[in-house]
Structure 1
Amino acid sequence: MLAEELHFGRTVELLRVSQARVSQTIRTLERRIGARLFDRTSRRVALTAIGQRLRDEVAPAHRQIQEAFERARAAGRERNTVLRLGFAAPAVADLIAHRLETVRAQGFRVQVKEAAFNDPLRSRRDGDVGALVTLLPEPGVVVHTEPLVLAVAARHPFARKESVSLEDLARDTVLRALWPPRLPWTTPAGRPIELGRAPETIQELFLAVEAGEGISPLAEHATRYFPRPNLAFVPFSDAPPVEWSLAWREETGAVRALSSNR
């Protein structure tokens, strides 16, 4: 520090030690080297030729050490920061539990939060979460894949079928819920799909389906997490899989660990 400042007062202030301590350290170093490193008078401090050469040769290594400590401090701060992870469907947190366990085992802290059913991106826009697992067509990394099923009322004609096709969507009103983004708004044959209202919660969606307001494509895990006596889930025979993607506001260490874990 003195080699850079060339001033005892500023060096003492920056290091927060006594001037006697600085002087003692310099004398010890000069004895080990066997030569003076500083020319000192009552008015000025200057490096000797040997002192200047030592400073120039040590400076790169000193910078590397400082940078290494700063990276270590940054990593420590990052691990002490909680990643608030939103889920458009909370059950998906269970389905990727192995990923979350691995991330936590690496020292990162993760807090799972439920995103709004009818507007899951809102939590990320508002800054309530730092990352979001969603079906919406957001740039991100796929963290879970599962089949698509069709939720219908238990008395609906489709409930008696072993499977349905995308063409069947044109035969009833489709309630707007977690609609998979890769499905078009028409059937593969070009028949228009009539869209119904957008329920605000998953339970409201189920009540609307049970009441006969319409049908709704959902991810297959709904059959296990939401069994209801007046509701049936019918698999699709030709639908693409549902892909849950991780999208984030800032790519932190926790996000990288979560997106790379398999």
Structure 2
Amino acid sequence: MGAVVERHEIEVFLALAEELHFRRTSERLGLAQGRVSQTIRKLEHRLGTPLFVRTSRRVALTDVGQQLRDDLAPAYRMVEEAVARAIASGKGITGMLRVGYSSPWVGDLVIRAADTFRSRYPDCAVHIQEVQLSDPYGPLRTGALHLQITEFPVLEPDLVTGPVIFSEPRALIVPARHPLARRDAVSVEDLADTVLVSMSGDIPQYWLDHHYPRTTPAGRPVEHGATATYWQEVPTLVASGKGVSPAALRASEYHVRPGIAFVPFHDAPPIEYGLLWPVAGETARVRAFVEVVRRVGRP
């Protein structure tokens, strides 16, 4: 007889296979981190093979884990939607809507919008998850998400950009002992005297150039140094003296840690956040959620 896999084990496995990080997986699922680890260990024991390679620095899928993810993910999404359709009334705005967000303050807005959306459309379930900046449009393109709120600009022919929902002032994250940390504000021209910590991954070059410029407005070159795969790594790199990094000023409310300071820009344009969905994926559910987000407003 083959191994029997519980639905909650599949959910935990697929979440960890996407996040490749136990803490983020526990936060996404609302489970204790120890519960996530225990579930994966039990699943690996039942299947008789490791699914993940764990070290002190990273989590990665084994070949078997990759195959299991590729086999399970589409089927699991079909099960989710089938259950949602069974619960729904069969008319109106029903089914499952999967919504992504790119940062904690955007997540706060999405959660508020989802609460309002559910009260208006009780037959439509809403699933919310964070989208990593290292692969900003991958979940939309694979069908894992129906829409998301993210940093603009977005210039992708297969994606629709909706309205800008809100904008945030920019700041520069600097080491606490850096000379710029003593300033009340900095200029974009100051970037020419620094080394930038930026992001790496499947990110369009136009997006990187917008948020992590190679030159200042006056044409002075800006040196680029270390890169991060996940944005949460950026404050650590800055604190260790690897460079400085632009960010939304609001990040100072969510990513406070010793060794860094957030200094506002006095001349940088704000970061705009807007809605995004696939060209082929505009449904009644998507349109209804877009309208709710526009009414709920900024985070």
Q: Please state which band the TM-score falls in when normalised by the shorter chain.
A: 0.5 to 0.7
Q: Look up the match of 1:129.
A: 145
Q: CA deviation at 1:126?
A: 2.1
Which of residues 97, 100, 118 in structure 2 aligns to 1:83? 97
- Please list, as runs of the form range in 1=range in 2, the aligned pairs for 1:111-190 lying within 5 A after superposition: 111-138=127-154, 139-177=161-199, 181=210, 184-190=213-219
Query: How far apart are the structure 1 equivalents of 2:223 and 2:211?
Result: 17
CA contact (8 A) 2:101 2:110 kept: no
Q: Look up the match of 1:211.
A: 240
- TM-score, normalised to structure 2, is 0.57
Query: How far apart are the structure 1 equivalents of 2:256 and 2:277?
Result: 32
Q: What are structure 1's unaligned runs of at least 5 residues? A: 1-73
CA contact (8 A) 1:85 1:113 kept: yes
Q: CA deviation at 1:236?
A: 0.6
Q: Look up the match of 1:56.
A: none
- 2:274 counterpart of 1:252: no
Paired letter, 1:113: Q
> What does the per-residue CA deviation read over 1:208-249, in whole Å, with 9 as the maximum and x for residues that have no partner?
111111111111221111111211101110111111111002
> What does the per-residue CA deviation read over 1:95-148, in whole Å, with 9 as the maximum and x for residues that have no partner?
454433332222143211111232221222222111121114223321221111
- Please list, as runs of the form range in 1=range in 2, the aligned pairs for 1:1-262 lying within 5 A after superposition: 76=90, 79-107=93-121, 108-138=124-154, 139-177=161-199, 181=210, 184-249=213-278, 250-260=281-291, 261-262=294-295
Aligned length: 189
Runs of 4+ in structure 1 off by over 6 angstroms are none
Query: How far apart are the structure 2 equivalents of 1:186 and 1:149?
Result: 17
Q: Look up the match of 2:78.
A: none
**Greater mean alpha carbon deviation, residues 136-145 or residues 125-134:** 136-145
CA contact (8 A) 1:124 1:131 kept: yes
Largest Rg, 1 or 2: 1
- TM-score, normalised to structure 1, is 0.65
Query: How far apart are the structure 2 equivalents of 1:215 and 1:257?
Result: 40
> What does the per-residue CA deviation read over 1:25-58, in whole Å, with 9 as the maximum and x for residues that have no partner?
xxxxxxxxxxxxxxxxxxxxxxxxxxxxxxxxxx
SS of the residue 1:196 aligns to: strand
Sequence identity (%): 41
Q: What are structure 2's unaligned runs of at least 5 residues? A: 1-87, 155-160, 200-206
RMSD of aligned C-alpha atoms?
2.4
Query: How far apart are the structure 2 equivalents of 1:77 and 1:222?
Result: 41
Q: Look up the match of 1:29.
A: none
